[in-house]
Amino acid sequence: MGKINVGLVGFGNVGSGVIKILQDKKSFLRAKIGLDITVKKICDKDITSKRNVSIPRNLLTKDAKEILQDPQIDIVVELIGGIHPAKEYIIEALKNGKNVVTANKALLAQEGKELFAYAKDRNKSIYFEASVGAGIPIIKSLREGLVANNFFSVFGIVNGTSNFILSQMSNNNCTFSEALKEAKSKGFAEKDPTLDIEGIDSAHKLVLLTYLCFGRLVSLNEIFIEGISRISLFDVNYAKELGLEIKLLAIAKKVSDELEVRVHPTLIPRSHLLSSVCGVFNAINVSCDLAGNLLFYGPGAGQLSAASAVVSDLVDLTKGIRAGLFQSTLNIQVDKTIKKLRSINEIESRYYIRFMANDQPGVLAKISGILAKFGISIASVTQKEWHKAKVVPIVMIIHDAKERNLRSALDTINRLNVIKQDAVAIRIEEV
C-alpha cells in the first residue's frame, strides 16, 4: 500500500486549507507515516471560484456520488456543514465502506447517536477533531491521551465570536452592540450571529465534550442554553471591580451522582487562566482524577487551524488502515456512577444580580425581603450612581442558592412597580 485516497466534499475555506496542507506538507507527511495521502476527487457546488490553492481541473466535480461511490476512495472528508445533505453523504460513505472525517459539530450534536452507531455496525470510523476548538487537539486528548482518567468536569470557552465580544467590552470599554459591530467588520461574526451569541454553537460543542468525558450523548434540549445578548458594559465593568470576569462557558460537571450540562455567561475569578483568554481564542479546562486540572488553549477558528485538525484525523485513519486496525470513535466508556442529568432548576450557585430600580427609599428593603422569603442570603449589595435620572442599578452578590428559588424570587421582584427592567442574574463558578 503506497497511498490512501481521499475524497473531499466541501471546498470552502477549511477545505481549501486541507488541500493546501496536503500539498505543502506532502513529503513531510510521507516521511512521518510512510504513505501518501492523495486527494482523488473534490466536490463542491461552486467549482469555478478561485481558491488560494491550485489543483488540476479534473479533480473537481459537483456530483458527490463520484466520491461516495468510488471504490478507490478510502476516506471521505465532509466539510459542507449543516444537517442535510451532510448526514446523507456520511451515511452513504459509511455504507460504501469508507471512513469519514468531519468538522460538522451541529450535525454530530443532533444526529451523532445514529451516525456513530451506523459507523460501528459497519466497522468504520467517524473522526471529528476539528469540530471543537479548531486546531486545539482536545478530542484526541480526551479520547486517547487521558484514556486512564475519570473526569470530574469540563469548562470551555468554545465560541470565538462571543469571546471576542466580551473581550472587547472588558478591554476596550465597548457596549455589546459596538463590540458585535466590530466582530462583524472583522469577519468574526456572521451577518446573523444568533448561533454564536445565544450559545447554540457552544452547546453543539458541549454535546461532544460531554460524550467524550462522561460517555453520555446528551441531546440539545437537555442542555440549558443562555447567551450573552443581555450582558451590559456595566455588568462587565462591575465584575472587574469584584475581581471577576464574564465568559460564555460550556460546562459539564459531575455533582454527586448527577451531571450538569449547561451553557451560559459565567463569572469566574480573574486569577484563573480562563479569564485571560481573549479575542477569538478558545480554551477548555478539564479536571480529572489522574492528570488533575489541564487547560487546552489556542485559536478556535481559522482556515489552517481547522484544516490542521482535519489532516490530523486523516493521518490517524491512514495509520489505522495501513495496520489493518479498526480504531472506533466509540471506544467511550459510560460513567455508570452518573444516574441522571440535573435540571437547571436544581443547580446551586452563587450569583451576581443587577436590578434597575427607581431611586427612592424602601426599594432595597423590598428586594431584600422577597429574596429572604425564598431563602436567599445576600453576601454583598451596592447601589451605584447612574447617569439616568431617578433610575439606579442595584448590584448584589448572593450566597449559594438553588436556581429554582432564585428564579421564583426574581419573577416576583420583576413585577414590582419600582423595577424598571428584568433583573440580570449571572452565575458564579469557582473553576
DSSP string, 379-421: EEEEE---SSTTEEEEEEEEEEEEHHHHHHHHHHHHTSTTEEE
Q: What are phi and psi of 219, to 5 degrees?
A: -95, 160
What residues are paired with 340 via a beta bridge? 258
Do 198 and 235 meet the contact criterion of CB atoms below 8 Å apart?
A: no
Q: What are phi and psi of 286, to 5 degrees?
A: -115, 135
Single-letter residue type at 66: E
Q: Which alpha helices (H) appear in 271-415, and where do they start and end?
A: 303-323, 363-373, 403-414
- DSSP classification of residue 343: P
DSSP string, 112-134: HHHHHHHHHHTT--EE-GGGTTT
In angstroms, the CA 208 to CA 110 distance is 10
3-state class (DSSP) for residue 73: coil
Cis amide leading into 265 (omega within 30): no
Do 34 and 69 meet the contact criterion of CB atoms below 8 Å apart?
A: no
Do 314 and 77 meet the contact criterion of CB atoms below 8 Å apart?
A: yes
Which one of the listed residues 40, 98, 205, 253 is annotated catalytic?
A: 205
420 is catalytic: no
In angstroms, the CA 419 to CA 392 distance is 10
Q: Using alpha carbons, select from 101, 265, 100, 96 the residue that is nearest to residue 170.
A: 265
Q: What is the CA radius of gyration of the chain?
A: 24
In angstroms, the CA 205 to CA 177 distance is 25
Q: Using alpha carbons, select from 165, 186, 205, 238 the residue that is nearest to residue 397.
A: 238
Neighbours of 207 (CB within 10 A): 27
Q: Which residues are catalytic?
A: 205
